[in-house]
Amino acid sequence: MTAVDEGFAARLRLGTRAEHERAERSVFVEALLEGRLGRDAYAGLLGQSHLFYDVLENAGESWRGDPVVGGFVDDGLLRRDALAADLAYLLGAGWREQVEALPATRAYVDRLAEVCFTSRAAFVAHHYTRYLGDLSGGQIIRRRMREVYGFEDDGVRFYVFDAVAKPKPFRDHYRALLDGAPWTEDDRDLLVEEANLAFRLNRAVFTDLSTVYC
């Protein structure tokens, strides 16, 4: 049995693996995890993240209750408020005035605004790349930021999912939603294509961050 035969979630994971791995191997991410960057670089990452989570979570509200993709909209995943708390801790109460979108972030935000409010498949593609990443690779970043910078809760709330008791069962549930949604074959193709684009857009943000901080 092939990965595609096992279900669409497996097909999506296989179909995006190469772009996902390229994003994880970015110069900025490696330098951050190795502790070679300052707290300002980490704050820079969170600031750019807040800009695109703001759009994505607004899109999620527009799909809440939708019979096809409403099940993906889970309050336990929402990251915008946690990011705001981390940024206030790192940069102070005036953090919003200090966050300016990098060119790649503007491109990412523009793409989210363009497709995530009108296309179910595109919304889920971007939702998948962000939140399943937060629940897996994001936990590695959380541990490393604690080790490197001595954060406890403040500063790494973005990576803390208090409403998700056990990430593994939740990820399994999420993949079951992907498998169970009534996608057409065109929807599946679009979702894989858009998820790959999401990883490329995210990698471009890392490249811009490396230009600033590395």
Render pLDDT for 68-100 as a digit per residue (tens, 0 to 9).
Answer: 999 999 999 999 999 999 999 999 999 999 999
Residue 137 has pLDDT above 80, yes or no: no
pLDDT at residue 163, as a whole number? 86
Q: What is the CATH number of the domain that holds 196?
A: 1.20.910.10
* 157 touches 90 (CB < 8 A): no
CA separation, residue 120 to residues 59, 68, 146, 184 (Å): 10, 8, 36, 11
* Domain count within the chain: 1
Domain containing 67: what range?
3-213
Q: Which of 140, 7, 138, 127 is nearest to 59 (CA)?
A: 127
Round to whole Å and give the CA distance between 23 and 196: 10
Reported pTM: 0.94
Round to whole Å and give the CA distance between 13 and 155: 30
Q: Which of 108, 92, 132 is nearest to 50 (CA)?
A: 108
Render pLDDT for 2-11 as a digit per residue (tens, 0 to 9).
Answer: 444 479 999 9
- Judged on CB neighbours under 10 Å (0-12, 13-18, 19+), 22 is middle
